[in-house]
Structure 1
Amino acid sequence: MEKRYDSQVVTAWVQAIFAAWGFNAADSQTIAQTIIDTDLHGIASHGVQRVQMYDRFLRWGRIKQTAAPAVVHETDISAVVDGHFAMGQLVGIYSMNLAIQKAKQHGFGIVATRNSNHYGVAGYYANLAADAGLIGFSSTNTGPGMIPTNALKGFLGTDPIGFAMPATPHHFIFDVATTTVPQGKVELYLKEGKDLPALWVAKDGQTPVYSHDATVLAGLRDAQSTVGLVPLGGISEFTGSHKGYGLAMIVEIFTGILAQGNVSHEISDQDPTAGICQSYIALDPSLFGDKAAIYQRFSAYLEALRALPAVPGKRVYVHGDKEAAAYTDRIRHGLKIDAQTYSELVAISKRLGVDYQPYLDAFN
């Protein structure tokens, strides 16, 4: 039987780790809750398995524990935020809350943020707007990872897009990388010793890589590497590679260009001055009429999709259905955590002097 871990215990453990790094109690709790929320919704690639990455960024000085985001340019419906290299989750919540505030006052809010850090999943921030009764959007650029169509090395990021809109029985949430998979999923496969499926990672822009060699992952963020993630659509225009490439370009425009910060090929994980950029949008459908009627019609539309005839043994899902089911399952039965991630939490705790034995006792 698969071993599961109580989400409240894991949250407390992760919170203790960030507190040991010098974050105050409120910020440590917020960071831990956003990380565990991702695991609860079944997105293990960006959940607790990312703690080792944040720990590494803190050691490198890329994340500043005491920094705080601030507005550097503003209008009634827009703002530019400087994250000052604070923890990405804290910058993201600050920026999206600002967009929500503007949308509630003026119907629309858009925030471009620079000098931030990895903030988890884009959908989390879009969903904050949906929880506020608004339509939400968020995106972020990253270090160079995607090999553009016909190129021989990575230049754009995985550049995910998150969109959320209120509906019943749960919000519609669309959250995807513009590469075939996010880097975090490659990390999970390598941790589990699985070969990477075709058209996830490419070498020299053309040859798919079938490997579970950790050196493949190491090359993904190296600006000089010829190994990179494949755009949505694969490595050829014949299969639609230009579509994922183009979507990533849109993300770069809404993040690095509008924020007047770094674009993906200027970002380096080890350079504490090369922060990433993000965008946050909140929209009040009341701009178009009766908001309740719009959401009711949208919910009925989603039900029509779910009711479509499906291939034998399958069903038609709407974006957000699987995440809602995962949440119910993990609240009831606990989180899934791979053995290597478990060991990473123990090692980080030892180094930081965190008393982790109570968490191990609860796990066992």
Structure 2
Amino acid sequence: MNIINVDAQRVRRQILGILDAWGMAQDLAEVAADIMVETDLLGVDSHGVSMLMMYEDMRNAGMLSLQARPTVVRDRGCTALLDGGASLGHPVSSMAMQLAIDKALEHGVGVVGVRNSHHFGAAGLYARMASSRGVVGLVTTATRGISLVPPRAAEPVLGTNPLAFAAPAGRNRPFVLDMSTTTVAANKVKVYHLNDKTMPSGWVVDAEGQSVRDPHVGMDYVFKRPDGGLTPLGGALELGSHKGYGLAMMVHILAGTLMGGSFSPIRNRTQKPGDPDNIGHFFMAIDPDAFRDEDAFENDLDAAIDALHATTAANPDEPVLVAGDPEAVTHEQRLREGIPIPQTLDAHIREICSRCGAAYVLQ
């Protein structure tokens, strides 16, 4: 598989060019492009520039209102609710997280929900916004697709329903956990498909609960077929992860039900052509100073992270890592060497540019 490494600013220009050709307002497009490029720099290739293919499909189906601006529906002290206007989820989610942080710095805690949104990229990007401003962040989102196969089931019923958590340290990098409630995110299967790379066992199962390792067959099970799909967090279907399944539903209750977002199994039965997805998001920020003396939280977290890093490694050449470490290393590397773009993805982007009239600038 041929791969080109592309400078991050060039990738950003490419995304902006396409979003502009699609009619997205410039300031909103810049927010979306910044988040998508930062996602790729962190190594989360499933949620960055490769999402343009899905966004094009959604736009062609009349589901996206790219000129819409986020609006505040309710604002009550330490809580608020925003409406995304059925546009891409990045701008409204960035606004919601920053508002939650502002409220946390004023009240000690801030909780902001979003309704009527679409896919917002990687949840970890918004949690990182909180830690960069010195507060703890928790982010969850409902999802568009149906891909999680519950224990004892032969068909999927929930989405990947991710969550992310970030906490600021003092000397160390922030602790950042970014995860789906399935064994792996659905779009990770897409990355293996684009790279024509065999998937690990246990990610995707067929209707009989047998592992699917061919990424092209896996794409069908995750994105097209009504049977089979992704395994719940905690193990393959035959093992049955009721906790992972329950966690996925908990995330939906917070981000979907609480915010007035849709429930994908019901939405997919009732959604008319051109109807938006009405995805819900949940953002919470906590100011450590509301509970601890100044710098006490960060100092204690530093001590905890130091203890984890000091754990005896099974292989001296592979030191013990803490959540957030791999992404930070990848970020530094990709800033130097560029973002890897598989030949298949590059071809898709060329085609998108041709269809919408945007200039192709990756090479």
TM-score normalised per structure 2: 0.93
Contact 1:267 / 1:276 at 8 angstroms: preserved in 2? Answer: no
Partner residue of 1:287 out of 286, 290, 294: 290
Q: How far off its partner does 1:221 sit?
A: 4.1
Contact 2:3 / 2:341 at 8 angstroms: preserved in 1? Answer: no
In 2: Cα distance, 1:158 partner to 1:28 partner: 26
Contact 1:153 / 1:205 at 8 angstroms: preserved in 2? Answer: no
Q: Deviations over 1:212-239 (max 9, x none)?
A: 335x4244245x70121101122358x4
Does residue 353 in structure 1 map to residue 353 in structure 2?
Answer: no
TM-score normalised per structure 1: 0.92
Equivalent runs, 1:265-284 vs 2, <5 Å: 265-268=265-268, 272-284=275-287
Does residue 199 in structure 1 map to residue 202 in structure 2?
Answer: yes
Does residue 338 in structure 1 map to residue 342 in structure 2?
Answer: yes
Which amino acid in structure 2 is aligned with residue 144 of structure 1? Answer: I
Tell me whether 347-356 or 302-311 shows the greater mean CA deviation: 347-356
Does residue 83 in structure 1 map to residue 84 in structure 2?
Answer: yes
Change beyond 3 A, Cα 1:352–1:2 = closer
In 2: Cα distance, 1:210 partner to 1:67 partner: 40
Tell me whether 196-205 or 13-22 shows the greater mean CA deviation: 196-205
Q: Deviations over 1:304-326 (max 9, x none)?
A: 10110011242210011111111
Change beyond 3 A, Cα 1:273–1:27 = closer
Number of corresponding residues: 356
Contact 2:149 / 2:237 at 8 angstroms: preserved in 1? Answer: no
Contact 2:81 / 2:259 at 8 angstroms: preserved in 1? Answer: yes
Change beyond 3 A, Cα 1:353–1:5 = same
In 2: Cα distance, 1:212 partner to 1:297 partner: 43
Identity of aligned residues (%): 36
Residue 111 of structure 2 aligns to a residue whose secondary structure is: strand
Tell me whether 17-26 or 265-274 shows the greater mean CA deviation: 265-274
Does residue 248 in structure 1 map to residue 279 in structure 2?
Answer: no
Equivalent runs, 1:51-130 vs 2, <5 Å: 51-130=52-131
Q: How far off its partner does 1:112 sit?
A: 2.1
Residue 348 of structure 1 aligns to a residue whose secondary structure is: helix
Q: How far off its partner does 1:271 sit?
A: 5.3
Contact 1:71 / 1:79 at 8 angstroms: preserved in 2? Answer: yes
Where structure 1 has 5 or more consecutive residues not aligned to the other structure, the ranges are none
Contact 2:82 / 2:113 at 8 angstroms: preserved in 1? Answer: yes
CA RMSD of aligned residues (A): 1.9
Residue 72 of structure 1 aligns to a residue whose secondary structure is: strand
Q: Deviations over 1:89-111 (max 9, x none)?
A: 01211211221121121111112
Equivalent runs, 1:97-176 vs 2, <5 Å: 97-142=98-143, 143-167=145-169, 168-176=171-179
In 1: Cα distance, 2:84 partner to 2:104 partner: 21
In 1: Cα distance, 2:118 partner to 2:345 partner: 21
Change beyond 3 A, Cα 1:341–1:23 = same
Partner residue of 1:328 out of 332, 345, 348: 332
Equivalent runs, 1:172-321 vs 2, <5 Å: 172-204=175-207, 206-214=209-217, 216-221=218-223, 225-236=226-237, 239=239, 241-268=241-268, 272-312=275-315, 313-321=317-325
In 2: Cα distance, 1:236 partner to 1:247 partner: 16
Q: How far off its partner does 1:122 sit?
A: 0.5
Change beyond 3 A, Cα 1:184–1:246 = same
Contact 2:97 / 2:130 at 8 angstroms: preserved in 1? Answer: yes
Contact 2:81 / 2:114 at 8 angstroms: preserved in 1? Answer: yes
Residue 341 of structure 2 aligns to a residue whose secondary structure is: coil
Which amino acid in structure 2 is aligned with residue 111 of structure 1? Answer: V
Which amino acid in structure 2 is aligned with residue 262 of structure 1? Answer: S
Contact 1:144 / 1:267 at 8 angstroms: preserved in 2? Answer: no
Change beyond 3 A, Cα 1:205–1:101 = farther
Contact 1:102 / 1:108 at 8 angstroms: preserved in 2? Answer: yes
Where structure 2 has 5 or more consecutive residues not aligned to the other structure, the ranges are none
